[in-house]
Structure 1
Amino acid sequence: MKMGKILVPICVLLLIEVVLVYGGSGSVHQVNIWPMPKYSIYGNSMLYLSNDFELRTQGSKYSDKEGILKDGFLRFMGIVTLDHVIDVNFSRFDQSSFLKGINVVIRSLSDELHYDIDESYNLTIPAAGKPAYAHIEAKSVYGALHGFQTLSQLCSYNFKTRLIEIDMVPWTISDQPRFPYRGLLIDTARHFLPLPVIKKVIDSMTYAKLNVLHWHIVDSQSFPLEIPSYPKLWDGAYSAEERYTMADAAEIVRYAQRRGVNVLAEIDVPGHAASWGNGYPLLWPSANCREPLDVSNEFTFQVIEGILSDFSKVFKYKFVHLGGDEVDTGCWESTRRVGRWLRRHKMVGSQAYEYFVLRAQKIAVSHGYEVINWEETFNNFGDKLDRRTIVHNWLGGGAAERVTAAGLRCIVSNQDKWYLDHLDITWDQFYMNEPLTNITNPKQQKLVIGGEVCMWGEHIDASDIEQTIWPRAAAAAERLWTSYDKLARNPIQVYRRLANFRCLLNQRDVAAAPLVGPGRFAPEIPGSCYVQ
């Protein structure tokens, strides 16, 4: 009953907005860009893409040796045409109404993707009657890719002319992200995700300008990733088929990098690691007490050393995630051998937990990484953490305020608002979750590097991951990309625009669920995509 009371007014509001925007004479213009750019102005004319719409790079320093820009342009053309057949006689149209192509100017020579890369871009589209080129200017190729994504949302297929049109020209857009870290977590330990599914998730992330794929690769239930230094860890996979080789991991990193997405790898230690002992039982405190990993055994830290050494050859992002959450030290204290070690080192369980986390941090730092740990590490011994640690919030609101007051960096993912597996959390709650709540000091604000929506995999696999992620992740994506002064103060203000983006995702073969309802909600009645 409670759900019905919520759904009906939202559906009515969406229907009213759709009638206003899409019905009647079509004279009402609305900006349908998601996430909303920092600055934009537009006109009231229309252009068509020419049949030989091309990419130019006149004036650009960037050589595109790896083909990142070219591939981005080809993807742009693919999502703009949406497999429609452009089969018309172009000669019967006024040639001054056709846009010939796009000229992209990139100032940087490098195509290296790293944390805090300049992702800004400027996009201009000329007025009708001035047949020329659209123009993107960016500091990096990855800013240019964002420009392609914005341009793609300005294009639509006209069923009357059978052409791709750009409405509301001329356009001038200046854009840049609010936060450098805009993440999405996927979990391949609770359910295995095939490589094509992961790649499709990466593609969908780019549509909403998310830029970090947090890969929670292993956990208590399974260890699907090959570790060449310790090959028996693979014995922890669910089956022989549900595995990734290191070459597979390298391919995911390469695929993501070419699209402007960093891959953050995670091993969650010392808890959440029972699967490690399937191949190496010495990592368990005992056969009946399998996690946390055995703090008393030097072999445990040798294995972590080997994993992070292998990681450093593939996962080139400057950060690695070492977990550190939900550690129950009772297993150590109840195991005689580990208990003797604790007494010999004059430790209780909580002190051994601190010892383990800090030692794992040192190993990661020795391989050139900066470390991300879950919030419990800060809550239990925050003043002992490496000062370069990034604390990953998840338990609830208020963590970022405390973490930044202590001078540490923070990522916001509070589970009551940004956990995608919590199906009762609606898109408007995702949208209104503000990472800088109660943080007014500019120095502290800069320590919040961004946020992340988390797609934990206990009840999600390849069959339902897309509709569980989208469109709610897009709501958070605008919060992380768009400047604060441009964000809606009431989610009603963005219903129509997000509904349009959700339908756009469907058109691009992304199984985004309806807005009306909680996560993974199915349409209740027949009707237009724009009112679901």
Structure 2
Amino acid sequence: MSCSIVTSPVPLRAQTQSTLPIMPLPAHVVPGQGEFVIDGAFGVSLEGYKEPRLERARQRFLVTLSHETGIPLWRAAQYNQPHFTIKTDHASQPVQQLGEDESYDLEISSTQVLLTAANPLGVLHGLQTFLQLVRVTPQGFSVPAVSIHDHPRFPWRGLMIDSSRHFIPIPVIERDLDGMEAVKLNVFHWHISDDQGFRAESRVFPLLQNKGSDGLYYTQTQIHQVLDYARDRGIRVVAEFDMPCHTASWLVGYPQLASSKGPYHVAIHMGVHDAAMDPTKESTYQFLNSFIGEMASLFPDAYFHIGGDECNGKEWNNNPQIQQYMHAHGIADNAALQAYFTARVQKLVAIHHKIMEGWDEVLQPTTPKNVVIQSWRGQTSLAQAARQGNRGILSTGYYIDLNQPASQHYLVDPLGGDAASLDSEQRARILGGEATIWSEFVTPENIDSRIWPRTAAIAERLWSPQEVRDVDSMYQRLAVISQNLKWYGINPQAVTDEMLQRMTGNHDPATLKVLAAVVQPPIGYTRDDGPNYTSFTPLNRLVDAVPPESDVARQFQHLVEKIVAGHATQQQWAQARQWLILWRDNDAKLQPTLGESNLTQELVPVSHNLSEVAIIGLQSLDNLRNHTEVSTLVQQKNLQQIKAAEQQTASLLNMVAPSVKLLVQATKTE
């Protein structure tokens, strides 16, 4: 029996948001009728162009599908009659290039699946879409009949991982590459050097890693392993070696590069440091020519990131030789001195057949037009680069280390803000964007919860049509993707549970889980760890264990907004009350245990505040339900108490408090 595919187009938004848990949403979708059932007879064949990468992709696909279904397809599929055909037209570039064709067509009926693509990149993306469609039905595991034609909106869709401040081991990097493949990200930006560590092996200048890494660095063999792993998943790897500042780790082994006499040490504190290369010495450029040559040979991608951000210029100001050089050469200020350095380095990068990339500070009126600007300052800065003739990518709004909600990231667009006023030629210079995870408060243990699942929302912004902006739909699909990431070894909730168990010594710290579900780290650079925090400080507190965004608190806010607007159902009223009672009563159960661990003692006021806020919430809920008026004095007292509860305590935010404030404000006063 064959399935008839509907040929009349249905609006993307109308049908995918309610039925297809895909992220990113495809460019074009036409639903069909029926289901393609996945059982032990499932088989996959490759037709047309073939290569080992496609064979590995098929096997990886079958392993993941086996995890999803519990059916050992990875063994049986090679013997079964194929009902899933993959047709590839030709090879992709030997070294993956910016702008290669990543489109694919996926046709699913009740009897067969056909995935076609111009090259292996499209095949990789199409396989991930199929995996996201798998669901449980009365007929068993299946995918819905559907016709998909898909292609990305932007060619540069990246994730930057900072491996300097806290070293991120290879298995963790590879796991996040798997996650990137799942949501169709295609650039791994590897931030390898900074003040806190130089993390790549240089065979030309071995003191870089021997003195600048505390023994934690990637060998060139390991780097090749990551490059191969990424290519198998359709991901380019762009290495960043920050210069001329953020270079304390360089200068420990090679102080002759420095603008000061030192001595230099690998930094253990975070923030902007004074260490800077000397841009006035020819020996600096001789060194960099050899270094860039070595790294350009190691990393095959066409782009080479030189950082260039946050030079405070203090060492330049305090060096008489540098000041004399600037005066003699008409260099007006430190910005001009950095521009001189950047121009010299750009020529070195070009000599080694690479295209230079750098942060906003690299952009000057004289910056060569082929330099790519990565913007951390915003869409205005990105638009300025495009108007000047430079290509650029956006990271402002995608700083996932800042603990902002997925909705906030989701609504930031590379072509939004000032960039919306660009003409068509200038808009074409906006290549896409990158999520960035700086690792001041990130370790191999909690990095998954900091990257995922919110980065999937950013991936959709960079892949899907610009008009796809429904936040409620995004969160519904994000919840599904978050569960599916387990099949790739990414399970942030399991890590949170393990960290809570360690904090308490209890295999099932149920009452602490209740508290953990409604608190989150502070947004932005406001964590109150104080000046004593270093790269050696253990990140094992509740603030390090909980996700950056509380799903429970967000769902509670949704209920409260419905209640305040007068649109809540009886079930929603009941759910809000049930949660408030849970939070009110949890403190009495949790408090006796908090003093038993030095890691939970700081949570005494956090737990108490949650209970007090819940009591106010229950009172306000009753007042709204019964149309009871309260005195202005009582209302103001409650608001003051909530305001106090909203303050950061133990580096945590009470995310129930803002919603309870809405309930209090909605209560009528006498």
TM-score, length of structure 2 as denominator length: 0.66
User: Which 4+ runs in 1 deviate beyond 4 A?
Assistant: 512-519, 521-525
Equivalent position of 1:154 in the other structure: 133
Q: Deviations over 1:234-276 (max 9, x none)?
A: 1344422x11111211111111011100000111111111110
Match of 2:348 among 363, 367, 390: 363
| Match in the other structure for 1:201 | 176
Partner in structure 1 of residue 35 of structure 2? 46
Pick one of 67, 70, 88 that aligns with 1:82: 67
2:405–2:548 CA contact under 8 A, matched in 1: no
RCO higher in structure (CA 8 A, sep ≥6): 1
Query: CA separation in 2, counterparts of 1:307 and 1:196?
Result: 27
Instruction: Return closer, same or farther for 1:75/1:44 CA change in 2, 3 Å cut-off.
Output: same
Partner of 1:392: 374
**Structure-2 separation of matches of 1:205 and 1:301:** 36
Aligned counterparts of 1:477 and 1:340: Cα–Cα separation in 2: 48
User: How far apart, CA to CA, are the structure 1 residues paired with 2:482 and 2:519?
Assistant: 13
Counterpart of 2:188 in 1: which secondary structure?
strand
Q: Distance in 1 between matches of 2:410 and 2:518?
A: 14
Q: Distance in 2 between matches of 1:109 and 1:427?
A: 36
Q: Secondary structure at the match of 2:107?
A: strand
Instruction: Work out which of the residue numbers 119, 124, 131 in structure 1 matches 2:102.
Output: 119
Matched, 1:308 2:292: yes
1:38-93 CA-to-partner distances (Å, cap 9, x unmatched) read 111123422222424222223x1x131xx1111111111122221654389xxxxx
Which residue of the other structure, out of 486, 489, 492, is the alignment partner of 1:506?
486
C-alpha distance in 1 between matches for 2:68 and 2:134: 14
Return the alpha-carbon distance in structure 2 between the equivalents of residues 29 and 48 of structure 1.
Answer: 21
- Equivalent in the alignment of 1:495: 475
Among 240, 243, 250, the residue aligned to 1:269:
243
1:217 to 1:327, Cα distance in 2 relative to 1, 3 A:
same
Amino acid in structure 2 at the alignment position of 1:265: A
Larger Rg: 2
Which residue of 457, 481, 484 corresponds with 1:475? 457
Residues 367 and 329 of structure 1, relative CA distance in 2, 3 Å threshold: same
Q: Which amino acid aligns with 2:123?
A: A
Kindly report which structure 2 residues correspond to 1:336-351, keeping only aligned pairs within 5 A, or say none.
336-347=320-331, 348-351=333-336
> Aligned partners of 1:29 and 1:346: how far apart in 2?
63
Which residue in the other structure is 1:36 paired with? 25
The RMSD of aligned alpha carbons is 2.6
Out of 321, 333, 337, which is 1:352 matched to? 337
Q: What is the match of residue 246 of structure 1?
A: 220
Residue number among 189, 193, 196 corresponding to 1:214 in the alignment = 189
Aligned to 2:637: none
Secondary structure, aligned partner of 2:22: coil
Matched residue, 1:278: 252
Contact between 1:455 and 1:469, CA under 8 Å: does it hold in 2? Answer: yes
Cα pair 1:54 1:102 within 8 Å, conserved: yes
The 2-side partners of 1:335 and 1:157 are apart by 68
Q: Deviations over 1:118-171 (max 9, x none)?
A: 000000112x3xx3x31111111011010000011111356x76x5322x32x1
Residue 402 of structure 2 corresponds to 422
Equivalent position of 1:164 in the other structure: 141
Q: Residue 207 of structure 2 aligns with which residue?
A: 232
Cα 1:460/1:349, change in 2 over 3 Å: same
Asked whether the 8 Å contact 1:221–1:275 carries over to 2, the reply is yes
Q: TM-score under structure 1 normalisation?
A: 0.83
Where 1:41 maps in the other structure, the secondary structure is: strand
Q: Choose the corresponding residue for 1:141, options 102, 120, 124.
A: 120
| Cα shift at 1:311 | 1.5
8 A Cα contact 1:320 1:372, kept in partner = yes
Query: Which has the larger displacement, 306-315 or 117-126?
Result: 306-315
CA distance in 2, matches of 1:54, 1:474: 29
Show structure 1 runs of 5+ residues with no match.
Answer: 1-27, 89-97
Distance change >3 Å, CA 87–CA 258, structure 1 → 2: closer
- Call closer, same or farther: CA 1:84–1:106 in 2, change over 3 Å: closer
- The one-letter code sitting in structure 1 at the alignment partner of 2:91 is L
Q: Structure 1 residues 87 and 318 mapped into 2: Cα distance closer, same or farther (>3 Å)?
A: closer
273, 298, 302: which one aligns with 2:282: 298
Give secondary structure in 2 for the equivalent of 1:178. coil
Percent identical among aligned pairs is 29
Deviation sequence 1:388-434 (CA, Å, 0-9, x none) = 011111013322222212221110111xx2101101x1100111001
Letter of the 1:272 counterpart: H
- The whole-number CA distance in structure 2 between the counterparts of 1:209 and 1:345 is 48
Name the SS of the counterpart of 1:82 in structure 2.
Answer: helix
How many equivalent residue pairs? 471
Q: Which amino acid aligns with 2:141?
A: I
Structure-1 separation of matches of 2:383 and 2:328:
38
2:50 is equivalent to residue 63 of structure 1: yes
Q: Secondary structure at the match of 1:421?
A: helix
Q: 2:360·2:376 contact (CA, 8 Å) conserved in 1? A: yes
Q: Which residue of 2 aligns with 1:520?
A: 548
Q: Distance in 2 between matches of 1:30 and 1:87?
A: 27
Instruction: Indicate the larger mover: 514-523 or 349-358.
Output: 514-523
In the alignment, structure 1 residue 439 sits paired with structure 2 residue 421: yes
Paired residues of 1:330 and 1:349 also in contact (CA < 8 A): no
Query: Could you tell me how far apart the structure 1 residues matched to 2:198 and 2:378 are?
Result: 28
In terms of fraction of residues, the more helix-rich structure is: 2
Give 2:304's match in structure 1, choosing from 314, 320, 343.
320
Change in Cα spacing, 1:354 to 1:372, as seen in structure 2 (3 Å) is: same
Contact 1:183/1:213 (<8 A) preserved: yes
- Matching residue's letter, 1:117: E
For residue 130 of structure 2, give the secondary structure of its aligned residue in structure 1: helix
Aligned mates of 1:207, 1:464 — CA distance in 2: 20
Do 2:518 and 2:552's aligned partners in 1 also have CA atoms closer than 8 Å?
A: no
1:257 to 231, 252, 271: 231
How far the C-alpha of 1:521 sits from its partner, in A, is 4.2
Structure 2 distance, partners of 1:442, 1:344, is 43
**Partner of residue 175 from structure 1, selected from 145, 150, 154:** 150
